[in-house]
């Protein structure tokens, strides 16, 4: 009984082994005969297939997918021509009549000079007024604007530097007063009292104490 059981097991094992070998052989034959993608494609191709593929790819453009479609192309930008300069007609009868005249560049505005305007208004030069009849030909005095008298020369130098920052040139003169040296800071001389008054007014506007000094010529 044991021998029959052992013989049946051995027989089944052999049959299973043979069946497995047959299946493996069949798979191997199938694999060797079926073309492998990307490897055996060129092996099994025929000349007729190459001709057909060449005809099919004759009009192929590799950059067709990268080209921009006509609908997405931006319209061209048109830059208008600059407007022509206006032509100014010359007066009738002038030599330039009938010929275009180019426009002249605008004259830049002049910078304001408040001190100069004030002086001209005081002297009458701004309005072109002539001196009244019977007035003396010249003023017998010379005028100075004194911006302080100091005991130390350093103080006088500091005052002159302050006036220089305001655009006014001053001189320092030394004089003895009550037995002590005094350093005077003066602007001038002015031949006309109106110019001296304008300078004095300008100093007062800037907070500088000053006085008008008159000297006989």
pLDDT tens-digit profile of 116-160?
666 666 655 444 555 555 555 577 899 999 999 999 999 999 999
The domain containing residue 184 runs over which residues? 117-122+139-216
Buried/exposed code over 96-114 (b: 16+ C-beta within 10 A; e: otherwise): eeeeeeeeeeeeeeeeeee
Instruction: Categorize the per-residue pLDDT at 162 as very low, low, confident or very high, splitting at 50, 70 and 90.
Output: very high
Out of 25-39, 80-94, 176-190, give the one with best mean pLDDT.
Answer: 176-190
Q: Is residue 171 included in any domain, yes or no?
A: yes
Q: Is residue 45 included in any domain, yes or no?
A: no
Average pLDDT, the chain: 74
Q: Is residue 11 included in any domain, yes or no?
A: no
Mean pLDDT of all residues in 57-72 = 57
Q: Per-residue pLDDT for 61 more than 90? A: no
Mean pLDDT of all residues in 96-121 = 59
Instruction: Categorize the per-residue pLDDT at 12 as very low, low, confident or very high, splitting at 50, 70 and 90.
Output: confident
Q: Which residue has the higher pLDDT, 108 or 149?
A: 149
Q: Is residue 143 included in any domain, yes or no?
A: yes
Q: Is residue 90 included in any domain, yes or no?
A: no
Q: Is residue 157 included in any domain, yes or no?
A: yes
Domain CATH number, residue 143: 3.30.70.1070
Q: Is residue 190 included in any domain, yes or no?
A: yes
Taking alpha carbons only, the member of 116, 175, 212, 169 closest to residue 159 is: 169
Q: Which residue has the higher pLDDT, 29 or 212?
A: 212
Q: Is the pTM of this model over 0.85?
A: no
- For the chain, the domain total comes to 1
Mean pLDDT of all residues in 13-27 = 87
Q: Is residue 158 included in any domain, yes or no?
A: yes
């Amino acid at each position: 009984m044991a021998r029959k059981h052992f013989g049946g097991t051995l027989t089944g094992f052999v049959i299973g082994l043979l069946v497995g070998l047959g299946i493996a052989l069949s798979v191997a034959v199938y694999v060797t005969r079926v073309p492998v993608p990307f490897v055996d494609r060129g092996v099994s191709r025929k000349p007729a297939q190459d001709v057909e593929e060449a005809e099919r790819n004759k009009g192929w453009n590799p950059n067709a997918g990268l080209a921009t479609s006509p609908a997405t192309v931006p319209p061209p930008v048109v830059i208008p021509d600059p407007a022509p300069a206006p032509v100014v007609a010359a007066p009738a009868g002038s030599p330039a009549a009938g010929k275009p005249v180019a426009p002249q560049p605008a004259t830049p505005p002049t910078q304001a000079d408040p001190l100069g305007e004030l002086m001209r208004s005081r002297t009458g030069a701004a309005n072109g007024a002539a001196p009244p009849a019977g007035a003396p030909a010249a003023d017998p005095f010379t005028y100075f604007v004194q911006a302080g008298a100091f005991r130390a020369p350093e103080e006088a130098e500091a005052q002159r530097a302050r006036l220089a920052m305001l655009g006014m040139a001053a001189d320092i003169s030394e004089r003895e007063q009550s037995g002590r040296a005094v350093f005077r800071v003066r602007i001038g001389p002015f031949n006309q009292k109106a110019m001296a008054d304008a300078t004095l007014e300008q100093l007062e506007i800037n907070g500088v104490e000053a006085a008008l000094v008159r000297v006989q010529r």
